Amino acid sequence: MSTEPPSDPRLDQAASSDDSLLSSHEKLLGRQPDEKAKYRLTPIALLFAFSGLILFAGTYLNRYAGHYDSLIYNENASPGGATAAPMAVDMVALGKKQFQSVCITCHQATGLGQAGIYPPLAGSEWVNGPEERIIRIVLDGLKGTVHVAGKEYGAAAMPVFGQVAGSGYNWSDEKIAAVLTYVRQEWGNKGAPVTTEAVTKIHQATGDHKEWSEAELAAIK
């Protein structure tokens, strides 16, 4: 009795033709999706986002890093040698304060003074005239009569305000300059401002001069 030899799988594979193998491969390849022409936007978006962040960070550091000096934000560093600039003095405001503290008693808030006694400051040729005269009046005082707009005044002497011998007020050159600046622009007056330097110059030139007279002041041009 004859028996059939066992089936050998290698013999079955060898029986497959080249055409059948190629056909099988083509079918398998045909089932794979073609993704070669497709792009994902997420990586590109992340690339632009990080690039923008790096650009912003570089710009920020360049502007606010204090030139990368370690002392800029050092809280323990000793103060530098810089000093605060002195505040500018408002001469008109200071002059008004000085006037209201003393001068207003005689010359009045209106600047019109009192007839026959205290000469007016409003429209006065002395106030609006050469500053060399009016500086001397306030600095060293005035004695005797004085004429303003053709009228005579002189029942009371002008006191000494400067830092000179016999002064009852001892005002600094700056305060004198301030009060003169104020009266030369108040009540319609048109006189130029008076500087502290101008007062100091006359103060140094005259020293402790006695009260001036109208004739002495009239000789000053």
Q: pLDDT digits over 165-199, tens only?
A: 888 899 999 999 999 999 999 999 999 999 999 99
Q: Measuring CA to CA, which residue among 217, 41, 51 is closest to residue 139?
A: 217
- Answer yes or no: do 153 and 65 share one domain: no
pLDDT at 117: 93
- Answer yes or no: do 114 and 197 share one domain: yes
- Answer yes or no: do 66 and 144 share one domain: no
Tell me, yes or no, whether 97 lies in a domain. yes
Whole-prediction pTM: 0.62
CATH number of the domain that residue 194 is part of:
1.10.760.10
For residue 58, the enclosing domain spans: 41-73
Helix (H) or strand (E) holding 37: none
pLDDT of 143 > 80? The answer is yes
- Answer yes or no: do 54 and 156 share one domain: no
Tell me, yes or no, whether 24 lies in a domain. no
Tell me, yes or no, whether 171 lies in a domain. yes
- Answer yes or no: do 69 and 96 share one domain: no
- Answer yes or no: do 118 and 170 share one domain: yes
- Answer yes or no: do 195 and 147 share one domain: yes
- Answer yes or no: do 61 and 154 share one domain: no
Tell me, yes or no, whether 35 lies in a domain. no
- Span 82-102, average pLDDT: 86
How would you write 51-67 as a 3-class SS string?
HHHHHHHHHHHHHHCHH
Tell me, yes or no, whether 194 lies in a domain. yes
Q: What share of the chain is helix, strand, coil (3-state, %, to 5)?
A: 50, 5, 45
Lowest mean pLDDT among 25-34, 43-52, 125-134, 167-176: 25-34
Higher pLDDT, 23 or 217: 217
Count of structural domains within the chain: 2
- Which stretches within 88-211 are classed as H helix? 91-98, 104-107, 125-128, 131-140, 173-183, 196-206
